[in-house]
Amino acid sequence: MAQGFSLRQNFSWTLVGNVFYSACQWGILIVLAKLGTPEMVGTFTFAFAVTAPLFMFFNLQLRVVQATDAQAQFTFNDYLGLRLVSTVMALGSLGCIAGMLPYGRSTIIVVLIIGLAKAIESISDVCYGYMQQQERMDFIAVSLIGRGALTLMLVVTGVLTSGTVVGGVIGLAAAWIIMLVGYDLRVMRRFMKTFAEQGFQSLKPVWQWQTQQKLIGLTLPLGFVMLLISLNTNIPRYFIEHFLSPRDLGIFAAIAYLMLVGSIIQGALAQAASPRLAKYYTDGKCRAFASLLFNLIGLGALLGAIGVGAAWLLGRELLTILYKAEYAQYSDLLVWLMVAAALEYIASFLGTGITAARYFRVQVPLFATSAVVMAIACFLLIPSQGLSGIPTAMIGTGVLRVLLCFAILAHALKSPVALAPSPQSLYDA
């Protein structure tokens, strides 16, 4: 168990786990679309749009920091201690936000239950970070497979039993609790026995103020980055909810989920490659770092091209089969969303390289700029063009993000860690 897997093995396990889990998540949307209405899909999606930015901020992207902590600056117990504190803060903030939302009781209940599920997920996520650091993506994959299958089963049961979204999200939260206690923590106990000599002696959180202060200083910029990334994803949903209707939000959310098909592969590659990229950069092997990263970018472009072609040729038929006939009239929207997805795959790989180089703080202005551009574009386009204005906003923002990421990486490769140890050198410059 102590020996890490090869990059190919880790990619294979990550791909299998992410494909299965995402398919199950997609299955939830299909169930809501088939058994319910676009409004039900819209409520479900809106709840995630409210909770996701909040928890992504308070999670501080600890998993990525763990996975790329090639010099073992912090222990698992340090990460767990910070994660527990930040999760409590996220739940408290969500309670305040939910009390101010101008929506009905059932929508607020769905938001709060999804928030509870996100809190449970955040604990599993810090366990995944340690598994990823040890390059054992097989344990993460098994967890995702079990969580996906159980979630789909309990959500379907909840929807069929209650006939409401509330019953479905109760099943979702229950599934995530079962997997955390029944699998993730048990695997971590096995790691505890294997890596005791590295200071991993228990699953108890550790709160040492000086250590936590350093960790917060390192990860807080990434918390803002993840908040901004989530806002970039969810800004169109906020404007649809405001200017259009829950039905339009449900239709957009169902169609946009097809963008994640390529993201599954992209994410698997990024997660498997990030520890290796971090080691290359830490060791000053800039040529190996650049070679691996540009191979990943090429795969991202290929994934995007395949997605656009499939949407153009099969979009109408695919939407009819997966959802209902009323979704098929939006096949042109799917094609342009896949163009935006292609840019997202490339930008995400570039972001993986930036994070592996531990250029954290510079990502805050990067994604802040993207969020502002996205918001302005949605504000101008959605009221006049409806759903068809969203791809234009996403494509324009995607092009800008790719260009900015290339500029940051160019600086990083000129100042490798062996020559410039400060991870935030670009931000401070």
pLDDT at 421 over 50: no
H or E element at residue 103: none
pLDDT in tens, 66-122: 877 766 778 888 899 999 999 999 999 999 998 888 778 888 999 999 999 999 999
- The pLDDT value recorded for residue 424 is 39
Total residues found in the chain within this entry: 429
Q: Give me the sign of the Cα torsion angle 100, 104, 105, 108.
A: negative
pLDDT in tens, 129-177: 888 887 788 899 999 999 999 999 999 999 999 888 999 999 999 999 9
pLDDT band at 420 (very low <50, low <70, confident <90, very high): very low
H or E element at residue 164: none
pLDDT at 373 over 80: yes
Q: Where are the domains of the chain?
A: 7-428
What the block records as the tokens of 114 is 């999804």
pLDDT at 423 over 60: no
- The pLDDT value recorded for residue 4 is 62
Q: Is residue 219 within 8 Å of residue 62, measured between CB atoms?
A: yes
Q: Give me the sign of the Cα torsion angle 27, 132, 280, 417.
A: positive
pLDDT at 195 over 60: no
pLDDT at 223 over 50: yes
pLDDT at 419 over 60: no
- The pLDDT value recorded for residue 343 is 95
What the block records as the tokens of 412 is 């990083």
Task: Tell the residue number behind the tokens 């700029």, with chain if given.
Answer: 369
| Nearest by Cα to 300 from 326, 252, 267 | 267
pLDDT at 376 over 80: yes
What the block records as the tokens of 119 is 């809190």
Q: Quickly count helices (H) and strands (E) in the chain.
A: 17, 0
Q: Is residue 299 within 8 Å of residue 284, measured between CB atoms?
A: no
Q: How far is CA 316 from CA 31, 293, 321, 329, 389, in A?
A: 19, 35, 9, 7, 19
What is the CA angle 53-56-59, rounded to 5?
150
Helices (H), 60-104: 62-67, 76-100
What the block records as the tokens of 308 is 């656009």
Q: Is 66 left (phi over 0), alpha (psi -120 to 50) or beta?
A: alpha
**Rg value, the chain, Cα:** 21
Which carries the bigger pLDDT value, residue 311 or residue 218? 311
Mean pLDDT of 19-24: 88
| Nearest by Cα to 424 from 259, 217, 122 | 217
First-to-last CA distance in the chain? 42
What the block records as the tokens of 349 is 């790989």
Which residues are within 8 A (CB) of 90 and not within 5 positions of it... i.e. 6 or more apart?
54, 55, 57, 58, 59, 115, 118, 119, 122
Q: Is residue 61 within 8 Å of residue 22, measured between CB atoms?
A: no
| CA dist., res. 276 & res. 289, Å (int) | 8
pLDDT in tens, 101-112: 877 888 899 999
